[in-house]
């Protein structure tokens, strides 16, 4: 157990639907990151939050949004889902925002869009 | 800007033989470099990291990596492969002052009995 908790572990839904993925960071970590991993795109950085505020944005689609709450957990919202959104979504956390900080990853949420 | 290239998408070794997973990086700043491992259906786990201290970095499970600035490389090695080493390995580069992490495409390591 890495200390980063992601729910749900598996999710199957239909095109056009909306889902929310949840992440609780490791105790003491203030930064949360979201990544998408698919066979054709590899591991793609989506977005980072630090202590409730957006810190960095990667290849996140406009249909996707995220937030980090005062208790530091984070949610990734995916809407108007398409078949191509099927992927493994990882959350990671770190203490701060410096490059030497190690990321601790959760086990991932596997999204299947039918 | 920084980037990382993993030179092999797939490496296959026999159990008990050495492992070499190659990674070259590009960075405008003094980089921090990491190797992460991902076992099937699992999250990524840190193997080791380099942050401008000793150039030879030892990690978990007998892995080590050497930072070579002149060659802009950070290759991962292990003297003797074990079946449990079969996994996907990711090389990561980031500037020392922020978390703009760039992941390589990954190298899948297969270990044959």
- What is the chain A residue with the closest CA to B52? A100
Structure tokens belonging to residue B82: 């074990």
Closest partner residue to B96 (CB to CB) among A99, A104, A108 is A99
User: Smallest Cα–Cα separation from A84: which of A67, A61, A107?
Assistant: A61
CB-based burial label for B78 (10 Å; 0-12, 13-18, 19+): buried
pLDDT tops 80 at residue A75: yes
Sign of CA dihedral B74, A43, B101, B3: positive
Q: Which of B3, B43, B93 to mutate to test the interface with A (most CBs of A within 10 A)?
A: B43
In this prediction, the residues of chain B whose per-residue pLDDT falls under 50 are: none
Residue identified by tokens 């929310």 is A20
CA distance B43 to B107: 15
pLDDT tops 70 at residue A108: yes
- From chain B, the residues in CB contact with A100 under 8 A are 32, 49, 51, 96
Per-residue pLDDT band for A76 (boundaries 50, 70, 90) equals very high
- From chain B, the residues in CB contact with A108 under 8 A are 42-43
A98 touches B at CB < 8 Å: yes
Region A37-46 average pLDDT: 87
Q: What is the pLDDT of residues B75-101, one digit of tens each?
A: 999 999 999 999 999 999 887 666 678
3-state secondary structure of A97: coil
- From chain B, the residues in CB contact with A97 under 8 A are 98-99
pLDDT computed for residue B98 by the predictor: 67
Neighbouring C-beta atoms of residue B82, cutoff 10 Å:
13
pLDDT computed for residue A42 by the predictor: 83
Asked whether the beta carbons of residue A105 and residue B43 sit closer than 8 angstroms, the reply is yes
- What is the chain A residue with the closest CA to B42? A107
pLDDT computed for residue A112 by the predictor: 97
Asked whether the beta carbons of residue A99 and residue B44 sit closer than 8 angstroms, the reply is no
CA distance A78 to B21: 35
Q: What backbone phi and psi angles, to 5 degrees, belong to A32? A: -130, 140
Q: DSSP string spanning A37-76?
A: EETTTEEEEEEEEETTEEEEE-S--TTEEEEE-TTS-EEE
* A99–chain B nearest CA distance, Å: 4
Per-residue pLDDT band for A29 (boundaries 50, 70, 90) equals very high
pLDDT computed for residue B110 by the predictor: 97
- From chain A, the residues in CB contact with B25 under 8 A are none
């Amino acid at each position: 157990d890495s200390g980063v908790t992601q729910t749900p572990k598996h999710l199957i839904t239909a095109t056009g639907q909306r889902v929310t993925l949840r992440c609780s960071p490791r105790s003491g970590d203030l930064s949360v990151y979201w990544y998408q991993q698919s066979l054709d795109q590899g591991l793609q950085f989506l977005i980072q939050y630090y202590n409730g505020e957006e810190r960095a944005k990667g290849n996140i689609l406009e249909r996707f949004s995220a937030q980090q709450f005062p208790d530091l957990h984070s949610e990734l919202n995916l809407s108007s889902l398409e078949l191509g959104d099927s992927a493994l979504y990882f959350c990671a956390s770190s203490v701060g925002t410096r490059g030497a900080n190690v990321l601790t990853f959760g086990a991932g949420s596997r999204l299947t869009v039918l | 800007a920084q980037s990382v290239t993993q030179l092999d998408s797939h490496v296959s070794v026999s159990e008990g033989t050495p492992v070499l997973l190659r990674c070259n990086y590009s960075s405008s700043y003094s980089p921090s470099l990491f190797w992460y491992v991902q076992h099937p259906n699992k999250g990524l786990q840190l193997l080791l990291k380099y942050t401008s201290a000793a150039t030879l970095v030892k990690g978990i499970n007998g892995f080590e990596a050497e930072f070579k600035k002149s060659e802009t490389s950070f290759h991962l090695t292990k003297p003797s492969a074990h079946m449990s080493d079969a996994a996907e390995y990711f090389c990561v580069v980031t500037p020392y002052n922020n978390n703009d992490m760039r992941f390589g495409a990954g190298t899948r390591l297969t270990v044959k009995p």
